[in-house]
Every structure is written in C-alpha cells, then in structure tokens.
Copies of this chain bind each other. A is one copy, B any other.
Amino acid sequence: MKTLKTISGGITAPKGFLASGVFCDIKRLGTGKGSDQGQKRDLALIVAEVPAAVAGLFTTNQVCAAPVKVSAARVNQATARGIVANSGNANACTGKVGLRDAEAMAAMAARPLKVKPNEMLVCSTGRIGVPMPMANIGRGILAAAACLSASAESAQHAAEAIMTSDTKVKEVAVEFKLGGKTVRLAGICKGAGMIQPGMSSTGERPAARPLHATMLCFLTTDAAIESRVLKAALGESVANSFNRITVDGDMSTNDSVIILANGLAENPVITRGAARCRDLAAFQDALNQVTLQLAQMIVRDGEGVSRFVTVRVTGAASYVDADAAARSVANSALVKTSWCGGDPNWGRILCALGYSSAKIVEDKVDLGYRRSGDAKILFSLKGGQPTRASFQALCQRVAAPEFELHINLNLGKSSAVMYASDLTEAYVDFNKGDVSNPATLGG
C-alpha cells in the first residue's frame, strides 16, 4: 500500500469536474414548520465536463428511496454526466409521486447542463416520508447550475450541501501516477446517523449481510478506466470501507456511493487486460484508501459519538463467522455504552460474541486492547481466562478517544474488521428529537 499525496481542492480537484452547493430551503418546507437550519446549503450539483465512466452501489434495504431506484438503474449505463443531490428530505417512502419527483429532479438538472436526463444521477437524504418540495428543488437546481465551478470553494459548498446531522465537512482528494500520468481521485461524503450500510451494485445483499445509515459518498477521478473495471473496483473498495462501519446498526433506505471517471488524466485506459494490471492495482489501492478515510470520517462524526473503536476479529472458522462476530460486538447496546463510560468490560463483549451467529468456544477466546500508537496489544483475556492486566491499565486503553479491540477466536483463519462508535446520551437526545418542533426530527 503506497502512501498517496493528499491534495486540496475537494471533489473538483480531478481535471474536468465542476461543483456547487446552494440553499433552497428544503428542510423547512419538507417538515412544514420553522427550522433552526438557517441558510444551510441543501442542494449540490457535481458535473463531469465530458461523459464519465460511472459506477454505483446502493442500500440493500427492501424499503429503498425513490432516488436510489432511479440512480441504481442509471449506473448500469457505461457513462454519466453528473449528480444532483439534496439534504433535508430523503424522498423515501413517498410512493409513485416520489419516483416521479426523483426523475424530475434529474431532468431539471440535465436541462441547464444540456445533457440527457438519464445522464444525471440523483440522491437524497433527510426525513423519510415527506413529499419533496419540488418548486424549491427547481429553483435550487437553477441556482446551483448557474454557479458551477472547479474552485475549492465550490467543491466545499457541494460537500456542505449534502450534510444532515454531520458536524464537519468530509472531503478527501489525492494524487498518484498511472502510466507516467498524474491522476487525481477525490470524494465527499456525509453520514452521522442511521449508519450501518450494506450496499451492493446488484440489489443482492452481501453474503455477510449487515443488519442495518444514510450515508452518501460521491467520488470523482480523471483516471481513464473502463466502465466494467470501474464497477468492480468500486465494489471491492465499498466492501472494505463503507460496508464495514456502524454507528447505530440501522441500515438506511438511501445509502449510495457513486463514482465518475472522466479519463481526462490521459493515462493508458485501465482495462481487465494483463498489460494494465499494475495500473489497476494502483488505482484500486488509491480508491481503497480514499473510501476507507471517508468511511472512518463518518464514524468519527457520528451522532453523539465520543469514541472510535476498531473491532478486529481474527481466528474465525469462516469469513461469515468473523463478520457476524465483529458486527455483534460493534452493535451491542451494552458494549457500546461500556465504551462510552471507558469501561473495558470484556464480559459484555464475550456475551455479544456468544449470542452472535458465529461459532465461539469460550475458553479459546483471546481479547485485548491497543491505542493508536501502542506497539503491543494489552490482553485482558487469553484462552477465555482473565490475564494479569490490571483494571486500571485496561481502563487507560479504553479511555483513549480511539482504540482497537482485538478478538482472536482461535478457531480458524478468517478475519473481519468493523469501525464502530460508542453509544452516548447525546445520540439518544439527538434522535429522540422534539415533537413540538418537527424540524428537530431526524430521518
């Protein structure tokens, strides 16, 4: 894994991409009540100046939002020209009207850009079950199209416009070489709550199925890559990044990851052919690093999150077992509240392993902690038995805002990782909302 050069410029850092983000008052109208959102941007436009190879993965929730239905069909095309996305309204559970609205949104964006409606992808995030305020969306799209630019400021406006309960803009841009040419890859994303994506490009649920975010991620690159190859590369990177995170174990109706690759870097086109194999590996590596960084940003900025925990399960009898064990621990209310308290409660962890669908043998389990920067894992259990590690020493590990939990089941050779958060009073407070002010009610 090569270290990539991080660059500024956000989603428009790669050649030939324009972006913008504007305020068109979607949330206030969506809930029909006053809002504390002020002039927060809520509509983003991302446009490739030339047709771009496209790939996308979407939620496997059986109840999926109208824009997911529209975009999932369009990423099967070889190319696309852009993405229109809004926050404040998920356009989910909105029936036939919602579907018409999602298509209309794409068509409205296509017009000023002079592209075909089906070359535009569409994404939404926000409250479920509220009709889209289409007049505002229309005005927003016109305003956004009028201020499209390749500036870092415009890129940041787009990143702001997709935020919901996020407290921070999430953007990454990197630069690397392919066949002697400088290639750039960038991405923005949003998350915060309803986070445990399980995305697929085919509608088939992943073999090791997550239980339950809206997360949106848009990636741009000027790499030249075949559409088919791009789709496979995105699938691999999402499996190891966004599909490995959990905030609250709830899988959203709107999770979407979309990449556009416009080829303007003029590298030799990446194909499945053996000659380009090294280039494909380099591109995959860059994509993996960017998506993992973005995915981890989502957990760190999750609703009410005070600790970021990497749960590493090794020694499982199968990958399905490793995944089930890691998810069971990462989603246990009792384990997550113990992390919130800085309590190295290995009893709750063993308990969550025991009720998972993974095969566990209590007296084989090793369990330990490591802070980022620590050379060694401090084990609290070896072969299911408490070690001599002191409670205080274990507490020190778990008191860190970021630490790793290592679980070796000692039953086989399979492993899995989950990036998880703790469960805090702030999460509950945020998500219970205030029914007297529907603008506070989340998705």
Cβ contacts under 8 Å, A433 to chain B = 338, 341, 343
Cβ contacts under 8 Å, A435 to chain B = 341-343, 391, 395, 399
What's the Cα separation between A342 and B346 when bound, in Å?
Answer: 34
**A132-184 interface with B by 8 A CB criterion:** none
Q: Which of the 9-residue segments A216-224, A229-237, A424-432 touches chain B?
A: A424-432
**A184-228 interface with B by 8 A CB criterion:** 193-194, 198, 209, 211-212
Tell whether, in the assembled complex, residue B434 and residue A341 are in contact, meaning their CB atoms are under 8 Å apart.
yes
Cβ contacts under 8 Å, A194 to chain B = 334, 348, 351
What's the Cα separation between A350 and B391 when bound, in Å?
Answer: 43
Residue of B248, B352, B427, B441 touching A212 (CB-CB under 8 A)? B352
Shortest C-beta distance, A364 to chain B (Å), equals 11
Residue of B63, B354, B386 touching A362 (CB-CB under 8 A)? B63
Cβ contacts under 8 Å, A361 to chain B = 62
Tell whether, in the assembled complex, residue B128 and residue A333 are in contact, meaning their CB atoms are under 8 Å apart.
no
Tell whether, in the assembled complex, residue B250 and residue A348 are in contact, meaning their CB atoms are under 8 Å apart.
yes
A127 located at the interface, meaning its Cβ lies under 8 Å from any Cβ of chain B in the complex: yes
**A40-96 interface with B by 8 A CB criterion:** 60-64, 90, 92-93, 95
What's the Cα separation between A345 and B345 when bound, in Å?
Answer: 33
What's the Cα separation between A350 and B61 when bound, in Å?
Answer: 10
Beta-carbon nearest neighbor of A361 in chain B: B62
Cβ contacts under 8 Å, A315 to chain B = none
Tell whether, in the assembled complex, residue B423 and residue A354 are in contact, meaning their CB atoms are under 8 Å apart.
no
Tell whether, in the assembled complex, residue A340 and residue B93 are in contact, meaning their CB atoms are under 8 Å apart.
no
**A325-373 interface with B by 8 A CB criterion:** 328, 332-334, 337-338, 340-343, 345-348, 350-355, 357, 359-363
Residues of A within 8 A of B (CB): 60-64, 90, 92-93, 95, 127-129, 193-194, 198, 209, 211-212, 248-253, 328, 332-334, 337-338, 340-343, 345-348, 350-355, 357, 359-363, 384-386, 391, 395, 399, 423-425, 427-429, 431-435, 438, 441-443
Tell whether, in the assembled complex, residue B212 and residue A384 are in contact, meaning their CB atoms are under 8 Å apart.
no
Cβ contacts under 8 Å, A198 to chain B = 355
Beta-carbon nearest neighbor of A354 in chain B: B63
A-B residue pairs, 5 tightest by C-beta: A128-B347, A341-B432, A63-B354, A337-B431, A61-B354
Cβ contacts under 8 Å, A193 to chain B = 334
Tell whether, in the assembled complex, residue B334 and residue A248 are in contact, meaning their CB atoms are under 8 Å apart.
yes
Q: List 22 A-B contacts (CB under 8 A).
A: A61-B355, A62-B361, A63-B350, A92-B347, A92-B351, A95-B363, A95-B385, A128-B345, A128-B351, A211-B328, A249-B333, A250-B333, A250-B351, A251-B351, A333-B333, A333-B423, A340-B428, A341-B431, A343-B441, A345-B441, A391-B438, A395-B435
